């Protein structure tokens, strides 16, 4: 049992320094298994008390207040699917002067390898070998302004001794930074650009950057020797669109789209954007997937369906497509075309997009 120290009296924590142990809690702290479970803390109080969480959503409390005497609070932890331990701080208060914290911890979990029914592994890259991308990958090389008024320059792996893509700790890092010449450099890479795949389940686990003006994307282009948009384009995930920034929802707003048409002048698109329940720029990895068959393109985030496009009568989405990852900066999508208005990439800073793995089933 741990005494939670403070000052109080007469059923309310007040200003009496002689009362030392207003609340005692056992056990001293709680450790939850990664699988998730319910545990109980026992509280012995000399005054009425309140209990407040720290805003995290992986646990819940059965009660948030109590009175003089003994009581219990049940704490339920959800399953931890991240490969790292997590913790939370509860705050007991009483009256105006008494406050004490209580620690919750949960063991690190394991990433679920979700495989939809009827699929088997076709190709994957877990980025575990070497320090640079292998032969399945191709870098785009283009100057700023190439498309969409974007501000970054795409280079083939390295510039001024710095890598725009590198493999480290089993991750693909796309690094975006300002060079000594004041220009912005970043990476855009293609998987199996000369073959691609037709239909299947495409998924990547990604940690997204923060910062006004960054535009990370996971998407696909038609591998059919046709010019855009006749080749077809599938945007599985894009973030950083200007309306989300204006509304203060940029960490939750996701955009997905398909682009097609016989020529740029006759370009058509179907576009969908919405806010998900929690931030996707919270410092954790999230999964983004496309389930593609003859009739539909279904986008999911963390295995929760986000949107479906009907392609049953759309001839542009029945060829092979290849995968792209890129970290763009500025441009029409973000509404920022002035390099000095970028809050996500100041001088001497860099932003990163991390891909844990990508797989095709």
251 is catalytic: no
Long-range contacts of 309-314 (CB under 8 A, 24+ apart): 309/258, 309/270, 309/272, 311/258, 314/258, 314/260
238 is catalytic: yes
Which is catalytic among the residues 150, 166, 203, 238?
Answer: 238
Q: What is the Cα–Cα distance from 120 to 328, expressed in whole angstroms?
A: 32
Q: Is residue 177 a contact partner of residue 167, using CB atoms and an 8 Å limit?
A: no
Q: Give the residue among 222, 209, 202 at the shortest CA–CA distance from 288.
A: 202
Spell out a b/e string for 126-157, using b for 16 or more CB atoms within 10 Å of the CB, else e.
ebeeeeebeeebbbbeeebeeeeebbbbbbeb
Which is catalytic among the residues 112, 233, 241, 294?
Answer: 233
Residues serving a catalytic function are 233, 238
């Amino acid at each position: 049992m741990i005494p939670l120290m403070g000052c109080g009296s007469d059923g309310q924590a007040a200003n009496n320094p002689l009362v030392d142990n207003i609340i005692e809690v056992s056990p001293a702290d709680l450790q939850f298994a990664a699988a998730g479970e319910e545990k109980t803390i026992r509280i012995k109080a000399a005054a009425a008390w309140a209990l407040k969480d720290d805003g995290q959503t992986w646990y819940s409390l059965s009660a948030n207040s109590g009175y003089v005497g003994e009581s219990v609070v049940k704490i339920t932890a959800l399953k931890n699917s991240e490969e790292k331990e997590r913790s939370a701080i509860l705050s007991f208060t009483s009256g105006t002067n008494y406050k004490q914290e209580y620690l919750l911890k949960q063991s690190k979990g394991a990433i679920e390898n979700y495989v939809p029914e009827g699929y088997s592994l076709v190709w994957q890259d877990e980025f575990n070998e070497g320090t640079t991308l292998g032969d399945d990958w191709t870098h785009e090389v283009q100057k700023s302004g190439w498309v969409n008024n974007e501000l970054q320059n795409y280079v083939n792996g390295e510039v001024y001794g710095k890598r725009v893509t590198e493999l480290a700790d089993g991750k693909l890092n796309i690094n975006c930074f300002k060079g000594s010449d004041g220009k912005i450099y970043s990476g855009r890479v293609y998987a199996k650009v000369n073959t691609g795949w037709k239909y299947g389940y495409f998924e990547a686990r990604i940690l997204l950057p923060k910062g006004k003006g960054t535009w990370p994307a996971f998407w696909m282009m038609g591998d059919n020797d046709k010019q855009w948009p006749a080749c077809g384009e599938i945007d599985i995930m894009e973030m950083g669109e200007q309306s989300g920034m204006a509304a203060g929802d940029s960490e939750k707003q996701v955009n997905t789209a398909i682009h097609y048409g016989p020529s740029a002048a006759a370009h058509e698109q179907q576009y969908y954007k919405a806010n998900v329940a929690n931030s996707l720029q919270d410092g954790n990895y999230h999964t983004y997937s496309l389930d593609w068959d003859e009739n539909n393109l279904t986008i999911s985030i963390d295995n929760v369906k986000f949107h479906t496009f009907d392609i049953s009568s759309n001839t542009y989405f029945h060829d092979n497509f290849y995968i792209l990852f890129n970290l763009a900066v500025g441009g029409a999508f973000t509404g920022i075309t002035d390099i000095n208005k970028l809050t996500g990439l100041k001088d001497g800073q860099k932003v990163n997009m991390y891909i844990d793995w990508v797989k095709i089933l």
